């Protein structure tokens, strides 16, 4: 029997490739976007249903859940991909900026997870996968708001995983590194850099970050698909060897000195 799958934030990038990967595998896919009319032409040719969803709006989430319950009576796989990049160090961020990042990248995923978890608990089966980030394991300069939200997401899912497992629901995190998409280009640079010192430091970070080789979004999509296919899926899944090495480094770094030495080196003046 094919699965019923919902992928949030599926209009482009990782979300789009993930929705297509499940459709190619023969699953029934419900893809969501804040602008379903725009997403429909690129997803519908793959036999994918497209629905409006704003993960920051409880009524919007409730409407999606009601549709899935009425149409299918179950949801086998939920992929929480919807999110947004935020750029800036803490001095450049307002409290509203921090709240906006949490609303989209953390509370949005929490809201959708909470909506569909009772359905899966009743069925005693299901798989919930969140697209996290290396930024959910390693804090990165000038990504304060984004990393904070992804850290929160990882804490939520790590806490939820053993509880959900009691009733047959698997909970997983997928941690990509830099992806070849317009994710960074669409990141909100929340306050113009009018501080000369911060501007110089940020430019050093951007220079260092530009040397990272981006990975194709299809790579992350295939990791998500493999995770959903694995009845023994673990909590964390990285998408490449470099990501795995960095996460392993972080988890072994009890006092934080190794990670902060690495990220601090990204800000050092050129010799």
Catalytic residues: 146
Using H for helix, E for strand and C for coil, what is the string for the chain?
CCCEEEECCCCCHHHHHHHHHHHHCCCEEEEEECCHHHHHHHHHHHCCEEEECCCCCHHHHHHHHHHHHHHCCCCCEEEECCCCCEEECHHHCCHHHHHHHHHHHHHHHHHHHHHHHHHHHHHCCEEEEEECCHHHCCCCCCEHHHHHHHHHHHHHHHHHHHHHHCCCEEEEEEECCCECCCCCCCCEECCCCCCHHHHHHHHHHHHHHCCCCCECHHHHHHHHHHHHHCCCCCCEEECCHHHHHHHHHHHHCCCCHHHHHHHHHCCCCCC
Cβ atoms 35, 239 nearer than 8 A:
no
Which is nearest to 128 in space by CA: 157, 101, 155?
A: 157
């Amino acid at each position: 029997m094919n699965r019923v799958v919902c992928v949030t934030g599926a209009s482009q990038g990782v979300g789009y490739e993930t929705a297509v990967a499940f459709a190619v595998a023969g699953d029934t896919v419900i893809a969501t976007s804040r602008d379903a009319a725009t997403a429909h032409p690129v997803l519908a040719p793959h036999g994918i249903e497209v629905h409006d969803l704003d993960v920051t709006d409880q009524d919007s989430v409730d409407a999606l859940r009601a549709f899935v319950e009425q149409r299918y009576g179950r949801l086998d796989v939920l992929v929480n991909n919807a999110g947004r990049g935020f750029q800036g160090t803490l001095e450049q961020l307002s409290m509203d900026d921090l709240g906006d990042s949490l609303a989209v990248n953390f509370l949005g995923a929490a809201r959708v997870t909470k909506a569909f978890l009772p359905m899966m608990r009743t069925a005693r089966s299901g798989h919930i996968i969140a697209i996290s980030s290396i930024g959910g394991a390693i804090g990165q300069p000038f990504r304060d708001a984004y990393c904070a939200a992804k850290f929160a997401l990882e804490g939520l899912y790590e806490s939820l995983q053993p509880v959900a497992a009691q009733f047959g629901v698997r909970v997983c995190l997928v941690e990509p590194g830099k992806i070849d998409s317009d994710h960074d280009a669409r990141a909100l640079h929340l306050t113009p850099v009018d501080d000369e010192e911060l501007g110089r430091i940020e430019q050093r970070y951007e220079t260092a970050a530009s040397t990272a080789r981006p990975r194709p979004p299809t790579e992350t999509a295939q990791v998500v698909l493999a995770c959903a296919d694995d009845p023994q899926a673990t909590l964390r899944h990285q998408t490449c060897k470099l990501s795995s090495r960095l996460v392993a480094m972080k988890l072994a770094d009890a006092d934080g000195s190794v990670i902060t030495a690495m990220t601090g080196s990204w800000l050092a003046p050129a010799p």
